[in-house]
A and B are shown apart, each in its own frame.
Chain A
């Protein structure tokens, strides 16, 4: 009797698990395959080792040099994706993780812009990041 009752439960579990294996495509898939491993699914990162995107990444667009920085950081500049996919991914991340911080006049990244910026990756990421974060702090109302 008990065994007989287990089968409907297994079938139910099977359907739940199937629903959980969601289809992924476009920039969401590119994020999962190229960024999520470190920045995590919710973009919170790991304090001390992996910067958070959530509630943070959009702030860089508010200071000079920030827009270029986001396309030149190693993870973006060296991602195994073409320029169009990287532009699409950057725009998706900004909307997904920090929409509230986007400037009102935000213009989405374009493939040729990303292509140009990727050809000059940052050599001293930490220093540039520190300077930009300081500028963001100073610009706070």
Chain B
């Protein structure tokens, strides 16, 4: 059995000796350095970036026609009347609360126009409750908001009602449907 494998040893030894004769350690280091530097620089090329963009996962509501903008941005169309910290920046998403918090069942609801398709979507702004303020991605937008004496349409209030804790952490913006006036 051992004799059968001698030809492999010979082949590898010959190859190694040839490499040693033809190349120097310095040339190997040069090659290695080029590969390392070149490899790290590759993603900076526009082609590489374009390929990465194509692989960015779609937002969870990517199906809504003409999805526009960044879900972690106050300017995102769905946040047209949000006042608070975006849960997408706090360990949750635009539809779900971060772990350790509880979504308030009592909420305030309005509409936001999606510039992608021109439709008015019904949005529920639920607070996620049970931890202190998230302090990331603070947004204050007031489209359709009414003064505080119109409590059901005011977003300055803390909406942690019906939850174990009244401490508000962040807010989600859940799409309930498309508003069509009949």
Verify B62–A17 contact, CB threshold 8 A: yes
A21 touching B105, Cβ below 8 Å: no
Q: A25 to B178, alpha carbons, bound, how many Å?
A: 8
Q: Is the CB of B122 within 8 A of A24?
A: yes
- Contact A21-B175, Cβ < 8 Å, known A46-B105, A49-B162, A75-B152: yes
Report the bound CA distance from A107 to B62 in whole Å. 45
- The answer to whether B161 and A29 have CB atoms under 8 Å apart is no
Contact A24 B177 (CB under 8 A): yes
Number of interface residues of B (CB under 8 A): 32
Within 8 Å of chain A (Cβ to Cβ): is B61? yes
Q: Does A32 contact B (CB under 8 A)?
A: yes
Docked-complex contact A33 and B109, CB < 8 angstroms: yes
Please measure, in the bound complex, the distance between the C-alpha atom of A93 and the C-alpha atom of B161, giving whole angstroms. Answer: 23
B55 contacts partner chain A, Cβ-Cβ < 8 Å = yes
Stretch from A35-43, A98-106, A118-126, A133-141 contacting the other chain: A35-43
* Contact, CB under 8 Å: B162 / A34: no
**Beta-carbon contact of A37 and B122 below 8 Å:** no
Chain A 15-59 interface 0/1 with B at a Cβ cutoff of 8 Å (1 = within)? 111100111111001001110111010000010011000000000
- Cα of A34 to Cα of B124 in the assembled complex, Å: 12
* A81 part of interface (Cβ distance < 8 Å): no
Point out the residues of chain B lying under 8 angstroms from A21, CB to CB. Answer: 63-64, 121, 175, 177-178
Chain A residues lying within 8 Å of B176, measured Cβ to Cβ, are: 24, 32
Q: How many A-B residue pairs have CB under 8 A?
A: 80
Interface size on A, residues (CB 8 A): 28
Which chain B residues border A46 with CB–CB below 8 Å?
Answer: 105-106, 161-162
- Tell me whether B152 and A37 are in contact (CB under 8 A): yes
A37 touches B63 (CB 8 A): no
Residues of chain A within 8 A of B179, CB atoms compared:
24-25, 29, 33
What string of 1s and 0s marks CB contacts (under 8 Å) between B84-122 and chain A?
000000000000000000000111111100000000011
Contact (Cβ within 8 A) A29 B162: no
CB-CB nearest 3 A-B residue pairs: A14-B63, A17-B63, A46-B162
Please report B residues at the A interface, Cβ cutoff 8 Å. Answer: 55, 58, 60-65, 105-111, 121-122, 124, 146, 150, 152-153, 161-162, 175-182
11 contacting pairs across A/B (C-beta < 8 A): A3-B55, A14-B62, A15-B63, A22-B177, A25-B182, A29-B122, A33-B122, A37-B106, A46-B105, A80-B150, A80-B153
List A residues at the B interface (Cβ < 8 Å).
Answer: 3, 10, 13-18, 21-26, 29, 32-34, 36-38, 40, 46, 49-50, 75, 78, 80
